Structure 1
């Protein structure tokens, strides 16, 4: 049985206006013993900005900015910047995040060599309406849920709403000389590979991807605790046996949704290939701070640091706080290998 150690809440809201409501879903960039955290901060108007905190070791807070590090500048992010995810590939830091304009939720990115001064790269999601996407879905073999989510967002959002794209997670190195991005067109996790970020700004590139979307699905919600949808999570961890992906899974009940953490093992050279999956949650909402908050029953992993072969998993709890859970990487890898697909 895996030994999971919950270390508790390490970041809470403050009286500062930009983070008075909630702080959660952080991106993590580790530089030696230093852990840089860029977290989602919510104000009383429900607009998200990105705050900054610095830790020595996995949990010792040594610095926290009194103002947001990054705030909305463009229309595509005017209603919030959410859920950052950070990797370093070669000499460049990349941070993907969800950009919200009040109607659409899309993946955007920033890049640079200084975590405190990243440049905006813009939207890297398909600017394709659900109406148009449904026609592309018809050309591939997809389950009804894809159409149902499209109808849901058209009904409660806008008839011209773009395909909602969240959970954009880059692999932390090039794979076969190409970038690899996990993304999530509901309800599954897909993978898109590309040579240059400019390709992700090309609608034709995305149309071709969606036209064959079934071929790009990495993970489906195969277990009951994943029966609504799944999403990517934290950047994958490279091991000798494959990439460990720690991600979230959502179960739907009449009483509400439950967000849990789970894990999968992906092939090193072809992460489209799933080697193994945990058939049960890695961890679930159990503590008070996970069960009750702005949104109840949520653990949402988004970042990882590694110390002494321990993966410290940073996650949002009940859309209210940032907490940490740790697990031994070798133990997790071995447990995954017991559950090959």
Structure 2
């Protein structure tokens, strides 16, 4: 726990620029570029991993070098596709995609871990890939959530999104060293079996989509990196509260270790939320922040009552899905922290994260 008395989240986001928009001459980008991960390569360059969407809503994960001028990201150099939905569990007859990558350099393992969503025959399922050089990515497969009798439910039955790993290990609920990840189960089963409805686990009274935590045994992952896909001790840690997140919330970039604890940027959604996985036209996606305890990230210390960043510019209000800012990556460049975010499901922007007292 912490001895700090924190009632607010002392950070702000200031938009900088749009650094990537869809190339109208590139078929793989016909329906947008959005929601990127980031990673530093062994060559000292920063790379962006955008979700690029082809006609028919088929997503791939691309790679681009971030162009930095005077310590600020200003554009990208495209370098091709690193992950496509070419595995059977990543596509169905009428859909397909590898979507919304988040990338964390996991210090205890010395590797980059990419979480992504495989939009396969049974809807969105979370999956992992790992890389040592940020160029070649090796799939580890879908996540598997351990059965927890106290939940009276099997989390593997449900679609899941917004998966992201912490960069450091902490003590897990069982006292063993563990790697931590956040995820967001989706309880509505009507899309798969009409009439099945919403089936929340035992003890979960709020049906709205919320942020959950899970743990991976560190020693098991050191012995075999495939253990990263085996998640235990899942629990809900944050449900929608403020008006800007009244419909649902989800994790954003890998949590950032700050003096106050773990800073988690997240998206909050207000307005209508349709059933299934259709685009939520009329909804408003904004970026907020949550502070988690440094030693026990299940404990929420503080939350932003208002968004840190809301859709205001033309790129954020108009696009494939208007009124969206969707943070998915954060990197330190020359002592400053920059957040990369999706804009209206069509472009990618950058904002600077600054402490309120500076």
* TM-score, L = length of structure 2: 0.76
**What corresponds to 2:81 in structure 1?**
68
Shift of 1:60: 3.6
Contact residue 140 and residue 226 of structure 2 kept, 8 A: no
- What is the Cα-based RMSD across aligned positions, in Å? 2.8
What is the CA-CA distance between 1:69 and the residue it aligns to? 1.9
Please give the per-residue CA displacement for 1:279-321, whole angstroms capped at 9, x wherever unaligned.
1101111111111110111110000111344321111111011
1:35-46 correspondence to structure 2 within 5 Å: 35-46=46-57
Larger displacement relative to structure 2 (113-122 or 170-179) = 170-179
Task: Mark the runs of 5 or more structure 2 residues left unpaired by the alignment.
Answer: 1-9, 172-176, 187-208, 274-280
Superposition deviation, residue 30 in structure 1:
3.1
- C-alpha change, 1:316 and 1:62, in structure 2 (3 Å) is closer
Query: 1:108 touches 1:125 (CA, 8 Å); kept in 2?
Result: no
Q: Aligned-pair distance for 1:20?
A: 2.1
Identify unmatched segments of 5+ residues in structure 1: 140-149, 151-160, 336-341
Q: Which residue of 2 aligns with 1:185?
A: 185
Q: How does 1:102-141 map to 2 (within 5 A)?
A: 102-126=121-145, 137=151
The corresponding residue for 2:20 is: 11
Out of 265, 277, 282, the position equivalent to 1:256 is 282
| Deviation (angstroms), 1:21 | 1.8
Higher helix share: 1
Tell me if the contact between 1:316 and 1:323 (Cα under 8 Å) persists in the aligned partners.
yes
Q: Is the contact between residue 225 and residue 250 of structure 1 (CA under 8 Å) also seen in structure 2?
A: yes
Q: Which runs of 4+ in 1 moved over 6 A?
A: none
**Equivalences, count:** 298
TM-superposed deviation, 1:8: 2.4
For residues 4 and 223 of structure 1, what CA distance do their matches in structure 2 show? 18
Residue aligned with 2:271, SS? strand
State the alpha-carbon separation in 2 of the partners of residues 125 and 316 from structure 1: 28
Which residue of structure 2 aligns with residue 50 of structure 1?
Answer: 61
- For 1:120-269, list aligned pairs within 5 A: 120-126=139-145, 137=151, 162-176=157-171, 177-186=177-186, 187-195=209-217, 196=221, 209=233, 216-253=235-272, 256-269=282-295
Q: Counterpart in 2 of 1:282?
A: 308
